[in-house]
Amino acid sequence: EMELTPNNPPTEENYSISKLKDRSVAANLSQKVRLLCWIMTGPKNLESRTKYIRATWANRCNKILYMSSVETDFPTVGLNVTEGRDQLYWKTIRAFQYIYQHHRNDYDWVLKADDDTFVVIENLRYTLSKQDPEKPVYFGRRFRPFVHQGYMSGGAGYVLSKEAVRRFIEGFDMAKCTHFSIIEDMALGKCMETMGVEPGDSRDVKGRQTFHPFPPDKYLIKKPPRKRPWFLLYDYYKPREGPECCSDHTISFHYIYNVQMYTLEYLTYNLRPYGYQYRYKPDSAATETRYITLSLLAKDETEIELD
């Protein structure tokens, strides 16, 4: 691989080759990790929010569906629901039922995201590539209260394995799950628990979060000691603030509107500091972590024997 130095700057030719090489890993994963994405939206949001998702990250999904109460040429899928915050869980139930009925052979994983959520699909596929879609598991930003095993934040987006989707559908077919609450993410989490679907840990090997229910500025700035806001109190794992809050391979941020979608798209896929070698290699970091752990365990055993 060509080393880039001040005396050997990138030319258009080797830059194009580099870009192609960079994309080949992601392109390969897109065939191995089939991801169906569905966006929770409504007629009033198509022009103000949803079209910005369509113009940015949505095209990286293997299949994208926009779920609404009305069928349009956007295109949206018209579900048998009315609009309103108190209808969000019904929309989620109907969306998964539609997906299972019409697309059950088209995916390994299903991502649900709001129409103001920005998602880095390549990072999501990387996380999922180490998981088995035939196992009952789902991933997202894990919250603590209300459900014994916790549940995944709806705003940050959550992703269900193929088996988790099947169990969700079965739960309603067998009346084991019901529409018992208008709080969409918590209610889905309760159904997941009832149907034996486990909450996966989506943090990176350094323990940093990848799914975020708020924009970057809510996490990246380390605040002085204070009463924690609700979204940090809800965190299942010990929350972090400051630069170590968020994984280099972050998957999502919520409350990202119109032009901000383009901004994050640019920062994610285009901005690069000249001469900077990417430092975070999660597979190497995981190997190193395991090696250190095993070394410490071996040292402990030796000390026990010496005692």
The residue ranges of every structural domain in the chain are 15-303
Please report the pLDDT score of residue 75 as a whole number: 96
Single-letter amino acid, residue 231 = F
Please report the pLDDT score of residue 190 as a whole number: 97
- CA 8/CA 3 separation, integer angstroms: 8
pLDDT higher than 60, residue 293: no
User: Candidates 3.90.550, 1.20.58, 2.60.120, 2.130.10; correct CATH number of 15-303?
Assistant: 3.90.550
225: pLDDT confidence band, cut at 50, 70 and 90? confident
- Residue 209 phi/psi, 5-degree rounding, is -75, 150
- CA 169/CA 121 separation, integer angstroms: 25
Please report the pLDDT score of residue 304 as a whole number: 41
Mean pLDDT of 88-105: 96
Count other Cβ atoms within 10 Å, centred on residue 48: 12
Mean pLDDT of 135-158: 96
pLDDT higher than 80, residue 302: no
- CA 202/CA 185 separation, integer angstroms: 17
Closest CA to 221 of 246, 203, 204: 246
- CA 62/CA 36 separation, integer angstroms: 6
Give per-residue pLDDT as tens, 250-267: 999 999 999 999 999 999
